[in-house]
Amino acid sequence: MTISPAWRRPLVGVVALAAGATIALTGCSSDDNDSSADASTSTTTSASTGADQSGADQSAELSNAQAQDILRKAVDPATPEADLDGIVEITNPGVKAALIGYAQGSSKAGYTPDIYTVKSVKADGEKATATVAVASPHAPAPVDMDFEYVQVDGTWKLSAAAVEALASQMTSHGR
C-alpha cells in the first residue's frame, strides 16, 4: 500500500504508538487465569438464571447489529475514553491505549468507523466471532476480518485480542 506524504508523518506516529501498545499488551499478561475462570463461572451461573433487573435477557447471543455498534464505537476517536470500559474487554491499561491510538490514527488515514460492516456473528457461549467487511479507502474491495467478542458480566464487549489485531493491522500497514 502506498501512503501519501501528507499522511506519512501522522501515520508514523500512530504506528509507533500501536507498536508500543502491542508490546505492552504481550508483555503485561496476567497469571490470574484461575481467578478469572472462577469469575466467569459465576457470571455464567448468574446469566443463565434469566433476566437482569430491567427484564432484559443477559444471556442472549450477540447480534450483527450489536457487534457492529460495539466495534464502530470502539474505533471512533470521538468515543469518550471512559465509555470504552463498557464496550471493550480491558485486560490491562495497554489495551485501552492501543485502541485509542488505533482509533485516532486510523481515522486520520481514512479508516473511519463507518467502513466496518459486520456480515455475520457466530456465538459459542460467552464468546463470539464476528466476520467484518472492512472497506479500505485505499483498496477497491472490502477485506473480511474476524473479530472476537466476549461476554463479561452479561455484557458483550470487543475482546482484548480484537484490539491487538486492530493495532497490528496499523503496524503492518505502516511498513
So what's the pLDDT on residue 152? 95
Instruction: Check which CATH number belongs to the domain holding 134 and give it.
Output: 3.10.450
Confidence class for position 132, pLDDT limits 50, 70, 90: very high
Q: Quick one: DSSP state of residue 109?
A: T
- Residue-wise pLDDT for 98-125, tens only, equals 999 999 999 998 889 999 999 999 999 9
Would you state the cell numbers that stand for residue 80, as one nine-digit string? 469518550
So what's the pLDDT on residue 137? 81
**Of 6, 10, 26, 7, nearest in space to 167 by CA:** 26
Q: Residue 165 domain-assigned?
A: yes
Domain of residue 65 covers 5-27+60-173
Residues 167, 144: contact at Cβ < 8 Å? no
**Cα gap 101→103, rounded to integer Å:** 6
- Residue-wise pLDDT for 67-80, tens only, equals 999 999 999 999 99
Q: Residue 41 domain-assigned?
A: no
**Cα gap 49→69, rounded to integer Å:** 26
Q: Give the rounded percent of residues in the chain with a pLDDT score beyond 70.
A: 63
Average pLDDT for the chain? 74
**Alpha helices for 61-92 (secondary structure H):** 64-74, 81-87
Q: Residue 93 domain-assigned?
A: yes
Q: Residue 53 domain-assigned?
A: no
- Residue-wise pLDDT for 152-164, tens only, equals 999 999 999 999 9
So what's the pLDDT on residue 142? 94
Q: Residue 51 domain-assigned?
A: no
Q: Residue 20 domain-assigned?
A: yes
State the total domains in the chain.
1
**Cα gap 96→128, rounded to integer Å:** 20
- Residue-wise pLDDT for 5-23, tens only, equals 443 344 333 333 333 333 3
pTM metric for this prediction = 0.66
So what's the pLDDT on residue 93? 85
Q: Residue 47 domain-assigned?
A: no
Q: Residue 50 domain-assigned?
A: no
Q: Is a pLDDT exceeding 70 seen at residue 39?
A: no
- Residue-wise pLDDT for 73-101, tens only, equals 999 999 999 999 999 999 888 999 999 99
Would you state the cell numbers that stand for residue 98, as one nine-digit string? 492501543
